[in-house]
Amino acid sequence: MDRYNLAVIGATGAVGQIFLSILEQRKFPINKLRLCASDRSLGKKISFKGSDHCIEPITDNLLSDSDFVFISASSEVSLNTAPRAAELGAIVIDDSSAFRMDKTVPLVVPEVNAEDLGHHKGIISIPNCSTTPLTMVLYELGKLAKINRVIVDTYQSVSGAGSRAVRELDSQIHASYKDINIKASIHPHQIAFNVIPQIDSFDESGYTNEEIKMVNETKKILHRPDLKISATCVRVPVKIGHSEAVHVEFNQPVSMEDATSKLAAAGGISIIDRPASSQYPMPIDCEDKDDVMVGRLRTDVSSPNGLALWLSCDNLRKGAALNAIQIAESIISKSLI
Amino acid sequence: MDRYNLAVIGATGAVGQIFLSILEQRKFPINKLRLCASDRSLGKKISFKGSDHCIEPITDNLLSDSDFVFISASSEVSLNTAPRAAELGAIVIDDSSAFRMDKTVPLVVPEVNAEDLGHHKGIISIPNCSTTPLTMVLYELGKLAKINRVIVDTYQSVSGAGSRAVRELDSQIHASYKDINIKASIHPHQIAFNVIPQIDSFDESGYTNEEIKMVNETKKILHRPDLKISATCVRVPVKIGHSEAVHVEFNQPVSMEDATSKLAAAGGISIIDRPASSQYPMPIDCEDKDDVMVGRLRTDVSSPNGLALWLSCDNLRKGAALNAIQIAESIISKSLI
């Protein structure tokens, strides 16, 4: 089997760290691994499979030496790095929003639209962490009947905003118990013992960019520009694991049984749905799990063609790192490299 | 002005304590105040306006001596006490779900359906804490156009499950930081750093009783048995303050401007809606406030006749104690006693 040279940009971040552990777990065929992060981490050593790797600066030499370049840093880093890496012959798999809506860039969840990888031009985007699990569920349900409309309200963990956001939650909780002043710098407000109905900045429509991303990315991935979809994205004081209350309206009635079997048969989805024994998806149970967990499936009492459900998903894994690695695996298996 | 004899049953609970403080704040015209709670609190003293009140057992003597009996304990206590109190001539204002759907019992949010108090037969129910703020918003919006459908997903604080649930959140957080085993006895699962998509038990429809309450109570209060409404009720690790993502579909387009002015002009509602400066309702800001806070008003991108919004409300005040006291005030002002 061929082995590949990888560069991981953002290797010290929340997603980068999970990325490295998944590479190891899945025995990704690596020839050479090179790690990059922000300037303050230069020279820092990170262990991978028992050997130390130094954090290096991003150089043309490094990019041209790479088969795959994974970027999970800021949109700025992606904008500065991805086109150059592609020009130098690497395949970039990018976790930022920078290129997601670019028509020449495939936006991919392998279980849903791996075929879109066929027309890549060196850059492939992965969706926002709240979009990925939603599209997986909608894709399967869309096989049963045409989906007309989707309403989704999210319960997103702080790790979606990076490691510093997790530390800020911890320090706010400690401050709260010590009755000292609570400071917020990563989150727009106190997140400890609170929920914040804002992720990313606002658009003039009154939606946040996080919500607009969810809407537009879902349409692109499902090839459904006509899909009617609305989202409210909310940060909750959970460390890992995004959850979503999803309301789907079809063009005809869909039975709970059909919906459950379709989802249960899908790759990457686990059904956790035993209400009588209080079993349903929750963030604490999805941490470190690859699958999107779906439960609380029920016929919507407000619409004969409606289905309501609840999902939880490890936002750092399937919501980011795992999805990126699965894209690279798809590219290899489809001989697109 | 006439002064009234009050009995407060459940005086030591989360709602009971807030109830007493609101009685004092609003200078409710009290002649005699008597307090009851569970057997283990008998004899305990509670201070009200600087004088101690002993917790007494519930007796016929106490009930017949009362003009108003407020009950915020369990449905069992309400079932055992309310009919007897009414029989003995008191007006019962009950916070449990025991009588809410009884056709002979008014279920009242004074800002919405105070006129229903006119046909009371001694027992008046107050709605579930997640229902009250929703009905206030829907009532105002329903003046602009007929509401066809409502979808609501909640973010409910642990105090909705009582004081012990708040203490359980605290102890789980401490256990988590000390890396010791986390125990859950009040909540069905760990609530620290988690969200739980279950409040109350499940019905065979797949909805929880909390969700069914929200649906049925909203229809009753709004006098809209035909309203299509679906809810997902979720517990979040917040101490006080319930929030809701609400999606309203009218039978015709409603402008953001009209919706905002209608809500802003309503009693008991405050608009907090300045996205550009990250101002919107949050649980930490609604604690100890009387008003339901509404924000994030926007035209729903998935429906030309749709409006999306977000609300937060102190579940112990307007969600429970304040609403009960306002009902008593209405009864007095309407001379229904």
Question: Are B180 and B66 members of one domain?
Answer: no
Would the pLDDT of B1 be above 90? no
pLDDT of residue B337: 87
Those residues with Cβ within 8 angstroms of residue B128's Cβ, 6 or more apart along the chain or in another chain = B97, B100, B210, B213, B214, B217
Question: Are B123 and B31 members of one domain?
Answer: yes
Q: Any idea what the CATH number is for the domain that residue B165 is in? A: 3.30.360.10
Query: Dihedrals φ, ψ of A270, to 5°?
Result: -115, 135
pLDDT of residue A315: 97
Question: Are A99 and A28 members of one domain?
Answer: yes
Q: Which residues constitute the domain of residue A325?
A: 4-127+320-333
Question: Are B138 and B179 members of one domain?
Answer: yes
Question: Are B191 and B107 members of one domain?
Answer: no
Question: Are B94 and B123 members of one domain?
Answer: yes
A42-97 pLDDT tens trace: 999 999 999 999 999 999 999 999 999 999 999 999 999 999 999 999 999 999 99
How are beta strands A51-56 and A45-48 bridged, if at all?
Answer: antiparallel
Is pTM beyond 0.90? Reply is yes
Name the domain count of chain A: 2
B155 part of contact set with chain A, CB < 8 Å: yes
Interatomic CA distance for residues A222 and A107, integer angstroms = 10
pLDDT of residue A332: 97
Instruction: Find the mean pLDDT for residues A271-277.
Output: 97
What are the catalytic residues of B? 129, 242
Mutate to test the interface with A, among B247, B302, B310, B311 (most CBs of A within 10 A): B302
Mutate to test the interface with A, among B167, B194, B300 (most CBs of A within 10 A): B194
Instruction: With CA atoms as reference, report the closest residue to A13 among A33, A34, A30, A37.
Output: A37
Question: Are B171 and B269 members of one domain?
Answer: yes
Residue B4 DSSP SS3: strand
Question: Are A155 and A119 members of one domain?
Answer: no
A256 part of contact set with chain B, CB < 8 Å: yes
Structure tokens given for A275:
């209400």
Name the closest residue on chain B to residue A236, using Cα atoms.
Answer: B236
Question: Are B157 and B252 members of one domain?
Answer: yes
B146-186 pLDDT tens trace: 999 999 999 999 999 999 999 999 999 999 999 999 999 99
Residue B199 DSSP SS3: coil
- As for the ipTM of the complex, it is 0.96
Interatomic CA distance for residues A304 and A270, integer angstroms = 26
Helix (H) or strand (E) holding A132: helix A131-141
Question: Are A114 and A162 members of one domain?
Answer: no
Question: Are B161 and B118 members of one domain?
Answer: no
Interatomic CA distance for residues A94 and A136, integer angstroms = 19
Residue B305 DSSP SS3: coil
A142-160 pLDDT tens trace: 999 999 999 999 999 999 9
Q: Any idea what the CATH number is for the domain that residue B99 is in? A: 3.40.50.720
Question: Are B296 and B241 members of one domain?
Answer: yes
Chain A segment 266-325 residues within 8 A of B by beta carbon are: 275-276, 278, 280-284, 295-303, 306, 308, 310
A44 and A37 Cβ atoms separated by less than 8 Å: yes
